[in-house]
Amino acid sequence: MSILPVRLLVLEDDPSLSEILCESLRDRGHAPVPAPSVAEALQLLERSDFEVALLDLMLPDGSGLDVLRRIVEEALPTEVIVLTGYATVETALQAMKLGAYDYQTKPARIDELEVVVEKAAEKARLRQENAALRVRLERQEPVPGLITQNARMRELLATVERVASTDLPVLIVGETGTGKELVARALHQRSTRRPHPFVAINCGAVPETLIESELFGYEKGAFTGAVARKLGLFEVADRGVLFLDEVGDISAQMQVKILRALETKEFYRVGGMRAVRSDVRVVAATNKDLEREIEAGRFRQDLYYRLNGLTLLLPPLRDRPDDMALLASHFLARFAPGKTLSRRALEALQAHSWPGNVRELQMAMQRAAALCPQETVEAEDLPLRREPPRDWTSSAARAGLTLEELERHYIQAVLDANHGHRGKTARALGLDPKTLYNKLGAVRPRPGRGEMGEDEAEE
Ligand SMILES: Nc1ncnc2c1ncn2[C@@H]1O[C@H](COP(=O)(O)OP(=O)(O)OP(=O)(O)O)[C@@H](O)[C@H]1O
Ligand SMILES: [Mg+2]
């Protein structure tokens, strides 16, 4: 529990009780301000911010509920704890419905009260932090729908701004879910081509046999089933932007055809004899390393040069930790307005490596919004897969281990971590003990130890 000093208002008309409460809260390092009446409490709330208000209900000039109502109506950053005698438990429940954080019956146990006060203060602070993030959000949206406060991202968006009105072909490179399509759309939005279409095709998802007629269209009778002329996307996108998504997945044959269309600004519909002209700006995206694809002979260098007037490299989410909390609260506000993230949940987000990047974060928040019953989303509510550290897996990959070798080393490592205890090792690996023993046969027998299975009694 945080022991940051809590600024709190203590509304209590009984002077001796008020004194005891304030005294002990002060002893605990907090900053209580006493108010003997509803009128004074309202005045104090107007003048300064309190994280917590401790409200007695029956006062000479009114009810503590009036103060609670004011706090709720004006959306003050104050959490309310109601103090009540046994006779007024009903009223206390009413207070909870109105939005009080908690209630304590009199005579209040000071130690319990202190705990509740500190918890309430923590909640008030979280609410404020989340609200502050949302305000920042509104300022962090240079492109509609694209949220970032990361310096590299903002630099990239500035570049988008600069090249938007040129016809330079742009290649957007980045891992899956980093926002490549969002950036492509932003480029179109900022360009003079904006009144004309933005047409996207996912080259990785369209079957090889269809991609040509998708891109270039076909004439009536070009093949069985071609009952009428169909325009291709190159034509549909005329004067606009053609977004070639997953461009690294295009076959060698199609690469030639696309290259020719880009160089001559002309193409033929499938089954067509007449060249069709079209004025498109091409924006391409890929999550592959195209230079490596070129080396491997899978991607044409001349097409690469043609697409790559400029490369925009989208950093993965794990390299922009400053965006994680911002994006998380943006998505949470969208899917579950009013819910907030606990500090531990924020830490868990920061620690995760986000292989699926922003898309994964979006899904995680959507799930948490739907499944988490309470107002504060905890780390446990986030569907974050456990994963091995990246450097570990990639160095294993560089070492060129087979799966079997990797498994053997991994089992040995987990076994060592569990001091040779096979039951624990099996549990940690998610194996039933028998399977582990079978696999252990392949790991070793270690000198000085008995046959496999001898220490099975431990389970
Ligand atoms: N900075 C951002 N702000 C808000 N939403 C974002 C941001 N970046 C990505 N998203 C959202 O994340 C999802 C994935 O983004 P997008 O489709 O642009 O990624 P991509 O790089 O094209 O992914 P893929 O390689 O898998 O096609 C979309 O729903 C998008 O709206
Ligand atoms: Mg995409």
Q: What is the mean pLDDT of residues 252-281?
A: 93
Between the CA of residue 290 and those of 279, 301, 412, what are the distances in Å?
A: 25, 9, 38
pLDDT score, position 20? 92
Cα–Cα distance measured from residue 127 to residue 346, given in angstroms and rounded to the nearest whole number: 13
Residue nearest to atom 24 of ligand 1 (CA): 176
> Which helix (DSSP H) or strand (DSSP E) does residue 162 occupy?
helix 151-163
Between the CA of residue 277 and those of 256, 261, 265, 282, what are the distances in Å?
A: 17, 9, 6, 15
| 173 within ligand 1 shell (Cβ under 6 A) | no
Contacts of 137 (CB under 8 A, 6+ apart): 147, 326, 329, 330, 333
Identity at 404, one-letter amino acid code: E
**Separation of 313 CA from ligand 1 center, angstroms?**
14
- What SS3 state is found at 32? strand
Cβ–Cβ < 8 Å for 254, 207:
no
Residue 244: closest CA among 290, 176, 198, 289 = 198
pLDDT score, position 3? 67
Judge if the upstream peptide bond of residue 107 is cis by omega within 30 degrees of 0.
Answer: yes
Between the CA of residue 146 and those of 181, 232, 327, what are the distances in Å?
A: 11, 30, 10
Cα–Cα distance measured from residue 436 to residue 442, given in angstroms and rounded to the nearest whole number: 10
| Ligand 1 atom nearest 146 alpha carbon | 3
pTM flag (> 0.85):
no
- The tens digit of pLDDT for each residue in 35-53 reads 999 999 999 998 888 999 9
pLDDT score, position 443? 62
End-to-end Cα spacing for the chain: 38
pLDDT score, position 180? 96
**Separation of 179 CA from ligand 2 center, angstroms?**
7
Among 148, 178, 314, say which to mutate for ligand 1: greatest number of ligand atoms within 8 Å of CB. Answer: 178
Contacts of 65 (CB under 8 A, 6+ apart): 55, 57, 91, 94, 95, 98
Residue nearest to atom 4 of ligand 1 (CA): 146
**Separation of 178 CA from ligand 1 center, angstroms?**
5
Among 153, 176, 181, 313, say which to mutate for ligand 1: greatest number of ligand atoms within 8 Å of CB. Answer: 181
Tell me: pLDDT of 378 over 50: yes
Cα–Cα distance measured from residue 251 to residue 203, given in angstroms and rounded to the nearest whole number: 9
Cα–Cα distance measured from residue 215 to residue 254, given in angstroms and rounded to the nearest whole number: 10
pLDDT score, position 22? 94
Cα–Cα distance measured from residue 100 to residue 326, given in angstroms and rounded to the nearest whole number: 28
Cα–Cα distance measured from residue 180 to residue 246, given in angstroms and rounded to the nearest whole number: 10
Between the CA of residue 47 and those of 30, 228, 265, what are the distances in Å?
A: 19, 75, 69
- The tens digit of pLDDT for each residue in 171-214 reads 999 999 999 999 999 999 889 998 888 999 999 888 888 999 99
- What SS3 state is found at 406? helix
Among the bound ligands, name the one nearest to the CA of residue 140. Answer: 1
Tell me: pLDDT of 215 over 80: yes
Query: Residues within 5 Å of ion ligand 2 by Cβ?
Result: 181
Cα–Cα distance measured from residue 321 to residue 325, given in angstroms and rounded to the nearest whole number: 8
| 366 within ligand 1 shell (Cβ under 6 A) | no
- The tens digit of pLDDT for each residue in 104-126 reads 888 778 889 999 999 999 888 88
Residue nearest to atom 23 of ligand 1 (CA): 177
Residue nearest to atom 26 of ligand 1 (CA): 176
Cβ–Cβ < 8 Å for 353, 393:
no
Buried b (16+ CB within 10 A) or exposed e, 323-336: bbbbbbbbbbbeeb
Between the CA of residue 436 and those of 10, 402, 450, what are the distances in Å?
A: 62, 19, 16
> Which helix (DSSP H) or strand (DSSP E) does residue 289 occupy?
none
Residue 56: closest CA among 114, 14, 19 = 14
pLDDT score, position 194? 87
Contacts of 303 (CB under 8 A, 6+ apart): 255, 258, 259, 262
Cα–Cα distance measured from residue 391 to residue 13, given in angstroms and rounded to the nearest whole number: 63
- The tens digit of pLDDT for each residue in 400-439 reads 888 888 888 888 888 888 888 888 888 888 888 888 888 8
177 DSSP 8-state letter: T
Residue entry with tokens 């918890």: 119
| 248 within ligand 1 shell (Cβ under 6 A) | no
Among the bound ligands, name the one nearest to the CA of residue 185. Answer: 1
| 180 within ligand 1 shell (Cβ under 6 A) | yes
| 358 within ligand 1 shell (Cβ under 6 A) | yes
Cβ–Cβ < 8 Å for 25, 8:
yes
Tell me: pLDDT of 303 over 90: yes
| 24 within ligand 1 shell (Cβ under 6 A) | no
| 356 within ligand 1 shell (Cβ under 6 A) | no
Contacts of 438 (CB under 8 A, 6+ apart): none
| 359 within ligand 1 shell (Cβ under 6 A) | yes
| 363 within ligand 1 shell (Cβ under 6 A) | no
**Separation of 338 CA from ligand 1 center, angstroms?**
24
DSSP string for residues in 245-264: ETGGG--HHHHHHHHHHHHH
Measure the CA angle with vertex 72, ends 69 and 75; round to 5°: 145
Residue entry with tokens 């509510």: 381
Among 182, 206, 314, 317, say which to mutate for ligand 1: greatest number of ligand atoms within 8 Å of CB. Answer: 182
Identity at 446, one-letter amino acid code: R
Residue 78: closest CA among 63, 64, 67, 62 = 67
Sorting pLDDT into bands at 50, 70 and 90, what band is 291? very high
| 428 within ligand 1 shell (Cβ under 6 A) | no
| Ligand 1 atom nearest 178 alpha carbon | 21
| 148 within ligand 1 shell (Cβ under 6 A) | yes
Among the bound ligands, name the one nearest to the CA of residue 201. Answer: 2
| 384 within ligand 1 shell (Cβ under 6 A) | no
| 88 within ligand 1 shell (Cβ under 6 A) | no
Identity at 344, one-letter amino acid code: R
Phi/psi of residue 247, nearest 5 degrees: -65, -20
| 179 within ligand 1 shell (Cβ under 6 A) | yes
Q: Cα 196 vs. chain centroid, distance in angstroms?
A: 32
- To 10 degrees, the CA torsion angle through 146, 368, 338, 64? -160
Cα–Cα distance measured from residue 395 to residue 408, given in angstroms and rounded to the nearest whole number: 16
Residue nearest to atom 29 of ligand 1 (CA): 359
